[in-house]
């Protein structure tokens, strides 16, 4: 670095750099590494986007009033309880910027959503990573990790990448044990895929808990990953602060109209979700028949605990035209995709099971 070059923030040294350039992987037929919804957009949602596209020379509504009203009505909350952002990671960053000062602590499980350490570092916070208990979040250990410097705790429910979910009794006990000054963020990006009745709905839990905020996204079940829109439901004090930290005009007119149209088409969308859930169960059943200890999934992906063979498995899938998400020396996250792509991954898993 040149002597007279601008000095960048030291906190960024711990953040992985994303460099422009060509992919090193070459052609790929199926992306099962991003937890995308593989169904094409609904016709009614596409129509709403097309109608809106003619006006994208205008700025969007800075306050996202139409979408906030739609979310509030759909989830039976008040508009002042809702804040919007340009995707789940953006809302997580807004929550951090609203609650955390430089040097404060952020507690989260690990392995979990990869944005937690990145966004915490960018916010200037000290990361406190609490190891999982197997594939589950250890809420007791997370509570014990809270100190006087802790300002925010992430609970990823269901957990990404291990697919498991925290049950209601454990979550309630955890929330009761956390000081009221600490903001608890329930990251429920995959809530629509949950089928276990003992897994709580965070929006039903936050109402009498002033220090609880719930994250939801339109990227997964609603299939709007490319338009970037998500929201948090929280008590007015928190929601107001989160709105203050939002990037102005961050949620586009197209994204807002698509999200509103998606809420209107919820029944049709959730029929697709049910198809994904059924395929998830088929994949998990097949993997278990092959001998893999695959935990029950409550998301739109399954977790294959391959440990040191994870990278080799990912490479074997890539050679067959499928990307899966490899966590070196831990495991592989496999998004539920088209049946043909799922079958390719299952065939690779069958080969690895015999080794």
Contact 302, 276 (CB under 8 A): no
* Domains in the chain: boundaries: 23-41+267-353, 43-264
Task: Report which of 90, 98, 96, 149 is spatially closest to residue 120, judged by C-alpha positions.
Answer: 96
Segment 223-250, tens digit of pLDDT: 999 999 999 999 999 999 999 999 999 9
Residue 225 DSSP SS3: coil
Give the span between the Cα atoms of 169 and 175, in whole angstroms: 10
pLDDT value of position 27 = 59
43-264: in CATH 3.40.640.10: yes
Instruction: Label residue 26 by pLDDT band (50, 70, 90).
Output: low
What's the residue count for the chain? 355
Query: Is 90 exceeded by the pLDDT of residue 13?
Result: no
Architecture of the structural domain at 23-41+267-353: Alpha-Beta Complex (3.90)
Count, in order, helices (H) and strands (E) of the chain: 12, 11
pLDDT value of position 14 = 74
Beta bridge partners of 332: 304, 326
Q: Do the domains spanning 23-41+267-353 and 43-264 agree at the CATH topology level?
A: no
Instruction: Label residue 11 by pLDDT band (50, 70, 90).
Output: confident
Which of the 8 DSSP states describes residue 111? Answer: S
Q: What is the pTM of this model?
A: 0.95
Contact 17, 222 (CB under 8 A): no
pLDDT value of position 106 = 98
Q: Which helix (H) or strand (E) holds 152?
A: strand 150-156
Query: Is 90 exceeded by the pLDDT of residue 12?
Result: no
- Mean pLDDT, residues 324-342: 97
Task: Report which of 152, 160, 136 is spatially closest to residue 327, judged by C-alpha positions.
Answer: 160
68: phi then psi, degrees, rounded to nearest 5: -60, -45
- Structural tokens at position 159: 């957990």
Instruction: Label residue 24 by pLDDT band (50, 70, 90).
Output: low
């Amino acid at each position: 670095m040149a002597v007279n070059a601008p000095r960048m923030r030291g906190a960024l040294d711990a953040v992985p750099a994303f460099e422009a350039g060509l992919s090193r992987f070459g052609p790929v037929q199926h992306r099962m590494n991003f937890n995308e919804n593989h169904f094409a957009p609904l016709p009614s949602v596409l129509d709403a986007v097309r109608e809106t596209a003619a006006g994208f020379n205008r700025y969007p509504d800075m306050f996202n009033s139409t979408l906030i009203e739609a979310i509030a009505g759909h989830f039976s909350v008040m508009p002042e309880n809702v804040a919007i952002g340009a995707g789940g990671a953006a809302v997580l960053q807004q929550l951090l910027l609203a609650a955390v000062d430089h040097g404060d602590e952020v507690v989260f499980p690990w392995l979990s959503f990869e944005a937690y350490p990145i966004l915490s570092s960018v916010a200037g916070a000290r990361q406190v990573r609490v190891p999982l208990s197997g594939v589950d979040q250890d809420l007791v250990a997370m509570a014990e990790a809270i100190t006087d410097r802790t300002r925010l705790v992430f609970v990823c429910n269901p957990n990404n990448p291990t697919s498991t979910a925290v049950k209601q009794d454990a979550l309630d006990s955890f929330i009761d044990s956390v000081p009221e000054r600490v903001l608890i963020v329930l990251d429920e990006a995959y809530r629509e895929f949950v089928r276990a009745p003992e897994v709580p709905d965070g929006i039903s839990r936050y109402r009498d808990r002033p220090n609880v905020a719930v994250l939801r996204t339109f990227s997964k079940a609603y299939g709007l990953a490319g338009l970037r829109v998500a929201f948090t439901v929280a008590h007015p004090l928190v929601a107001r602060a989160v709105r203050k930290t939002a990037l102005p005009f961050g949620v586009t007119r197209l994204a807002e109209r698509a999200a509103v149209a998606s809420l209107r088409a919820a029944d049709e969308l959730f029929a697709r979700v049910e198809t994904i859930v059924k395929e998830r169960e088929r994949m998990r059943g097949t993997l278990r028949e092959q001998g893999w200890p695959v935990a029950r999934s409550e998301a739109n992906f399954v977790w294959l605990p391959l440990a040191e063979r994870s990278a080799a498995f990912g490479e074997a899938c890539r050679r067959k035209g499928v990307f899966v998400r490899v966590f070196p020396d831990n495991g592989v996250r496999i998004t539920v995709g088209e049946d043909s792509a799922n079958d390719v991954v299952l065939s690779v898993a069958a080969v690895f099971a015999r080794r």
